Amino acid sequence: MAGWFITFEGVEGSGKTTQIRLAGEFLREKGFPVFMTQEPGGTPLGERIREILLNRGGFDISGEAEVFLFAAARAQHADAVIRPALEKGQVILCDRFSDATIAYQAYGRGLPLEAVREICRSASRGLSPRLTLLFDLPVEKGLERAFLRIAGREEANREDRFERENLDFHRRIREGYLTIAREEPGRVKIVDASRDIESTRIEVRAILSSFLGV
């Protein structure tokens, strides 16, 4: 396929959303046709699933139900949005993809790793990122940032179902992401996200420049 599929991953408050925006601006300045999207989301179905999964709905969602909801959002996103954008030769910057499911649902929730991998293979519809930037930092620091941001939002718009999990859950997710990075060092580049926005931006720019040959 003609385009480039790049994903941004990390624990809560790692700053990946801030950096994806800055990366998009940088690549557009360099003349690349950039398309930014996120998971869960990116389609009307994905946005509805996002509301169910991230807000406090007042009802239980089991780990098994959760993984299939993320997968349903991904299947729609992959077919309706990501593949067509890649076919047009765009650079897709996607805020989370299959690595998030492996890290959160397998390592975090404790669902069987091989079963989650199989669900991801099916939901991603044959697509996989060529480059992944993993924003890594101690979970305490990330959660501090995330809660500061959440506190600034209206009660009804607080997407905090995951942030309210215990510290061990978040530590397992970080370890899961680092394991993926160790397994696939060619694809996954670890970015030290504990630094300020500007230092992180410079590193992200260097990785993207080298990958895209800017």
Per CB under 6 A, does 12 bind ligand Z5A? Answer: yes
When asked if residue 149 is in the footprint of ligand Z5A (CB under 6 A), the reply is yes
CB of 138 to ligand Z5A, least distance (A): 13
User: Which of 4, 32, 104, 177 lies at the binding interface for ligand Z5A (CB under 6 A)?
Assistant: 104
CB of 186 to ligand Z5A, least distance (A): 22
Tokens of 106: 């397998």
Would you say 145 or 187 has its CB closer to ligand Z5A? 145
Nearer to ligand Z5A, 3 or 15 (CB): 15
According to the binding rule CB under 6 A, does residue 14 interact with ligand Z5A?
A: yes
Question: Hey, what amino acid is at 196?
Answer: D
Site string (128-147) toward ligand Z5A, x via CB under 6 A: -----------------xx-
The residues of the shown chain that bind ligand Z5A, judged by CB under 6 A, are: 10, 12-18, 39-40, 54, 70, 95-96, 100-101, 104-105, 145-146, 149, 162-163, 196-197, 200
